[in-house]
C-alpha cells in the first residue's frame, strides 16, 4: 500500500489515480485497451502479500529492530538476549548426541521420506522415554515435528478454529500469540504473579474462559520467567480446566530443566481427566535447537480427544513432513545414550549462573530480580519510578546497550512491561561482568527521594 501512496503523491498530478494498480487481474470492471476489442481486460501486475502473512507478527523482531542504538565503542557487547544455548560455544551438546547423528548419517538409511508423523520406531522410542504408570504413552500417542515450534503450531491448529480464543500466560513466550493471530485465533492473557514466584492468577485465568475458549496454554518451566510450578499449583490449573472442560496445550520444552532435583512435574502425570497435548523437543535440554526435532505427546486417558483430534493431527502432519530423518534416525541413541553427567552439568552451570546473577542484581537499587528455579532465564523488575529518565523498559534496555554494551530483552517482548529478561547460558565471567555493568548503569541513573532512599 505504502509504495502506491508514494506514487500518488510524487507522481504527475495530472494523471488519474493509479489506484487501479491494486485491482487484481480477475476482479474489478473492464478496462479496454485500444485495438484489442471490447471487453478485453488489460492485465496489471498486482502481487500482494497475503492477509495471513500480514497477520503474522513477531514482536521481538519488531521491538529489537526499533532499538536503534550502537553499543558503547569501548566495551565489548555482551548479549544476554538470545535464547539459544549454542551461541557462546560454552555449552556443547553431549558427545554421544553428536556420535548418534554421525552414525545415523553414515548408516545411509535415513535419507528417504519418513511417514508424516515420524518413523514408527522413533515414535515408540519417544513414547517409551516419556511413558510413566500415571500417564502411559504408546507410539500412536507421539507425533514428531520440526522443533517444538511446529508441535505448538499443530496443536493450536487442531484445537482452535478462527474466531475462537486461547488462554496464554503473561509474561510468556511470544510464539503463541504470533501463531494464533496468523490463524485468526484470539488470544486472552492470564497473569503470572512475580510476587508468587510467577504462579498463575488462577481466579483471573478462570474468569477469562468463555464458550469460545479452545484451550489453555501452560508453559512450565517458563520462558521468560525461569519459574517452575509446584505440584499443587499444577493441580489447581488442572482443576480449572476440569471444571471448565478446557484441554491443555502444555509447552514442556524445558521439562527436567529444574535446579532442585525432583522438582520437575509434568501436567499429564497429575491429570486424571483433562486431555493434554504436551509439546517438547531436543532444542533446550539437549542443547541442539538447530536440529529442529520436536514432538507432541497426546495424553488422553478419558478419550476426550479421541479419534477426532488424533485424525486431525495426522491430517495436519501431512501438510508438510515434520522433522529431518537423520535426526529421527539418531533419536533413539540420543535419548538412551546421553550421559546423566551431561544433564547434571548443564543444570549446575545454569543454576550457578542464576545464583550469581540473582544475588548480584538483588543488591542493585531500583532492580527487583525474581529468583529463577529452572529453564535458562531470569526476569528482573525495574522500579521505573526510580529511573525517571526512562519512559519504559524498552528505553531502559536501549540505554543499557548504549552505555554499557549489555543487551537484555525488554519484557515488553513478552507482554510484560517494566521488566527485562536475562539469558543464563552465557559463560560465567561474562555473566559476572554483565551484572557489574548493569549495577553501574543503575547506580548512574537511580534517583531516590529522601524518604525513598535505597536501603540495599
Residues that bind ligand PLP (CB under 6 A): 83, 147-149, 173, 219, 223, 251, 253, 281, 283-284, 289, 294
Burial class (CB in 10 A: 0-12, 13-18, 19+), 67: middle
Nearer to ligand PLP, 173 or 189 (CB): 173
Rounded distance between C-alpha atoms, residue 416 and residue 342, angstroms: 34
Task: Tell me the CA distances in angstroms from 309 to 21, 152, 244, 248, one per residue in order.
Answer: 44, 14, 19, 13
Rounded distance between C-alpha atoms, residue 152 and residue 250, angstroms: 9
DSSP-based three-state secondary structure for 275: coil
- Cα 327 to its chain centre, rounded Å, is 22
**Nearest approach, Cβ of 221 to ligand PLP (angstroms)?**
9
Rounded distance between C-alpha atoms, residue 83 and residue 225, angstroms: 12
**Nearest approach, Cβ of 369 to ligand PLP (angstroms)?**
19
**Nearest approach, Cβ of 330 to ligand PLP (angstroms)?**
16
Task: Tell me the CA distances in angstroms from 18 to 8, 9, 36, one per residue in order.
Answer: 7, 10, 22
Nearer to ligand PLP, 219 or 328 (CB): 219
**Nearest approach, Cβ of 302 to ligand PLP (angstroms)?**
27
**Nearest approach, Cβ of 452 to ligand PLP (angstroms)?**
36
Q: Are 184 and 55 in contact (CB under 8 A)?
A: yes
**Nearest approach, Cβ of 152 to ligand PLP (angstroms)?**
6
Nearer to ligand PLP, 123 or 292 (CB): 292
Nearer to ligand PLP, 123 or 421 (CB): 421
Nearer to ligand PLP, 281 or 366 (CB): 281
Nearer to ligand PLP, 170 or 437 (CB): 170
Q: Are 96 and 337 in contact (CB under 8 A)?
A: yes
**Nearest approach, Cβ of 314 to ligand PLP (angstroms)?**
21
Nearer to ligand PLP, 194 or 322 (CB): 322
419-423/377-382 β-pairing: antiparallel
Q: Are 116 and 314 in contact (CB under 8 A)?
A: yes
186-193/165-170 β-pairing: parallel
**Nearest approach, Cβ of 300 to ligand PLP (angstroms)?**
22
**Nearest approach, Cβ of 149 to ligand PLP (angstroms)?**
3
Q: Are 347 and 330 in contact (CB under 8 A)?
A: no
Instruction: Render 48-60 in DSSP notation, one character per residue.
Output: ---HHHHH---HH
Nearer to ligand PLP, 174 or 213 (CB): 174
Closest residue to ligand PLP, judged by C-beta, is 147
Rounded distance between C-alpha atoms, residue 329 and residue 251, angstroms: 24
Instruction: State which H helix or E strand residue 345 sits in.
Output: helix 340-362
Nearer to ligand PLP, 8 or 82 (CB): 82
Amino acid at each position: 500500500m505504502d509504495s502506491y501512496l508514494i506514487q500518488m503523491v510524487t507522481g504527475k498530478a495530472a494523471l488519474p489515480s493509479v489506484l487501479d494498480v491494486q485491482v487484481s487481474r480477475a476482479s474489478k470492471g473492464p478496462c479496454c485497451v485500444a485495438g484489442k476489442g471490447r471487453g478485453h481486460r488489460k492485465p496489471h501486475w498486482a502481487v500482494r502479500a497475503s492477509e495471513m502473512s500480514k497477520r503474522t507478527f513477531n514482536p521481538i523482531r519488531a521491538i529489537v529492530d526499533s532499538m536503534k542504538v550502537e553499543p558503547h565503542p569501548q566495551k565489548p557487547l555482551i548479549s544476554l538476549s538470545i535464547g539459544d544455548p549454542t551461541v557462546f560455544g560454552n555449552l556443547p551438546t553431549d558427545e554421544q548426541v553428536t556420535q548418534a547423528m554421525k552414525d545415523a548419517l553414515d548408516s545411509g538409511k535415513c535419507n528417504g521420506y519418513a511417514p508424516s508423523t515420524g518413523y514408527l520406531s522413533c515414535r515408540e522410542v519417544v513414547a517409551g522415554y516419556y511413558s510413566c504408570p500415571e500417564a502411559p504413552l504408546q507410539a500412536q500417542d507421539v507425533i514428531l515435528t520440526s522443533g517444538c515450534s511446529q508441535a505448538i503450531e499443530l496443536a493450536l491448529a487442531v484445537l482452535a478454529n478462527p474466531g475462537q480464543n486461547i488462554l496464554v500466560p503473561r509474561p510468556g513466550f511470544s510464539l503463541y500469540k504470533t501463531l494464533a493471530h496468523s490463524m485468526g485465533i484470539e488470544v486472552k492473557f492470564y497473569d503470572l504473579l512475580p510476587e508468587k514466584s510467577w504462579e498463575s492468577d488462577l481466579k483471573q485465568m478462570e474468569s477469562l474462559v468463555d464458550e469460545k475458549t479452545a484451550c489453555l496454554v501452560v508453559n512450565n518451566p517458563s520462558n521468560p520467567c525461569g519459574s517452575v510450578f509446584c505440584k499443587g499449583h499444577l493441580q489447581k490449573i488442572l482443576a480449572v480446566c476440569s471444571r471448565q472442560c478446557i484441554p491443555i496445550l502444555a509447552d514442556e520444552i524445558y521439562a527436567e530443566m529444574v535446579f532442585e532435583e525432583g522438582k520437575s512435574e509434568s501436567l499429564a502425570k497429575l491429570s486424571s481427566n483433562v486431555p493434554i497435548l504436551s509439546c517438547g523437543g531436543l532444542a533446550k535440554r539437549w542443547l541442539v535447537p538447530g536440529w529442529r526435532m520436536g514432538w507432541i505427546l497426546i495424553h488422553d486417558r478419558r478419550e476426550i480427544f479421541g479419534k477426532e483430534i488424533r485424525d486431525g493431527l495426522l491430517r495436519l502432519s501431512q501438510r508438510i513432513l515434520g522433522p529431518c530423518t537423520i535426526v529421527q534416525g539418531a533419536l533413539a541413541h540420543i535419548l538412551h545414550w546421553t550421559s546423566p553427567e551431561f544433564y547434571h552439568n548443564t543444570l549446575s552451570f545454569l543454576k550457578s549462573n542464576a545464583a550469581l546473577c540473582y544475588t548480584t542484581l538483588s543488591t542493585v537499587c531500583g532492580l527487583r530480580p525474581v529468583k529463577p528455579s529452572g529453564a535458562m532465564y531470569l526476569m528482573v523488575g525495574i522500579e521505573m519510578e526510580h529511573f525517571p529518565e526512562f519512559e519504559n523498559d524498552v528505553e531502559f534496555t536501549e540505554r543499557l546497550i548504549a552505555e554499557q554494551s549489555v543487551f537484555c530483552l525488554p519484557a515488553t517482548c513478552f507482554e510484560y512491561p517494566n521488566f527485562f529478561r536475562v539469558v543464563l547460558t552465557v559463560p560465567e565471567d561474562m555473566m559476572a561482568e554483565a551484572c557489574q555493568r548493569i549495577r553501574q548503569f543503575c547506580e548512574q541513573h537511580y534517583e531516590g527521594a529522601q524518604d525513598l532512599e535505597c536501603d540495599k
